[in-house]
């Protein structure tokens, strides 16, 4: 295959809408811009929320309350069945999970959840565990260690 053989997937490209091709085309005369006014002029664009100088709705509505999303702690979930990818007796921490591709993307840490079965003894170090996951790890003879995420390292 060469560069000149590459083609977009079927259905990915559409014909451009041809405007101003006469009245019978369905998009003639005003070319889909309606009658007169600011939006009918060339080069016109009105920013989102602009209401012609009237106080916009987003500024008319009072802002109240507290939003906690800035301080929310978001864990990356990892199931017990995913931990079977590691050798018995190995130490499973955030670095090992990321290297194995089980925890991708930004998060405030890893939380181990109890979905699936764990079939080997592991030392698991994570920021959080569900109660059922902790008992399942310890039932296999492993240990579940809670580690604190260093905020300075993640920032």
pLDDT at 44: 84
The answer to whether residue 16 sits within a structural domain is no
Domain with residue 134: its CATH number is 3.100.10.10
List CB contacts of 115: < 8 A, sequence separation 6 or more. Answer: 79, 80, 81
Q: Is 143 contained in some domain? A: yes
- Domain membership of residue 7 (yes or no) is no
**Which range of residues forms the domain containing residue 83?**
73-154
CB atoms < 10 A from the CB of 100, how many?
14
How confident is the model over 53-65, as pLDDT tens digits?
999 999 999 988 8
Which residues, other chains included, contact 112 with Cβ-Cβ below 8 Å and sequence gap of 6+? 78, 79, 80, 83, 124, 126, 128, 129, 130, 133, 134, 137, 144
Residue 46 in any domain: the answer is: no
- Give pLDDT tens digits for 87-118: 988 999 999 999 999 999 888 999 999 999 99
Quick one: DSSP state of residue 87?
P
The pTM (predicted TM-score) of the whole model is: 0.57
Distance CA 97, CA 110 (A): 9
Within a domain: 17: no
Asked whether 133 and 99 are in contact (CB, 8 A), the reply is no
Number of domains in the chain: 1
**Rounded Cα–Cα distance for residues 113 and 144 (Å):** 12
């Amino acid at each position: 295959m060469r560069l000149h053989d590459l083609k977009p997937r079927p259905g990915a490209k559409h014909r451009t809408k041809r405007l101003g091709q006469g009245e019978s085309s369905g998009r003639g005369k005003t070319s889909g811009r309606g009658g007169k006014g600011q939006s009918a002029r060339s080069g016109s664009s009105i920013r989102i929320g602009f209401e012609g100088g009237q106080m916009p709705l987003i500024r008319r509505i009072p802002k109240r309350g507290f939003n906690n999303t800035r301080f929310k702690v978001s864990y990356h979930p990892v199931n017990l069945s995913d931990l079977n990818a590691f050798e018995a007796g190995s130490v499973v921490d955030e670095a090992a999970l990321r290297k194995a591709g089980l925890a991708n993307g930004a998060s405030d840490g890893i939380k181990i959840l109890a979905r699936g079965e764990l079939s080997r003894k592991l030392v698991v170090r994570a920021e959080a565990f569900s109660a059922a996951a902790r008992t399942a790890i310890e039932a296999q003879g492993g240990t579940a260690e809670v580690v604190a995420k260093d905020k300075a390292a993640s920032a």
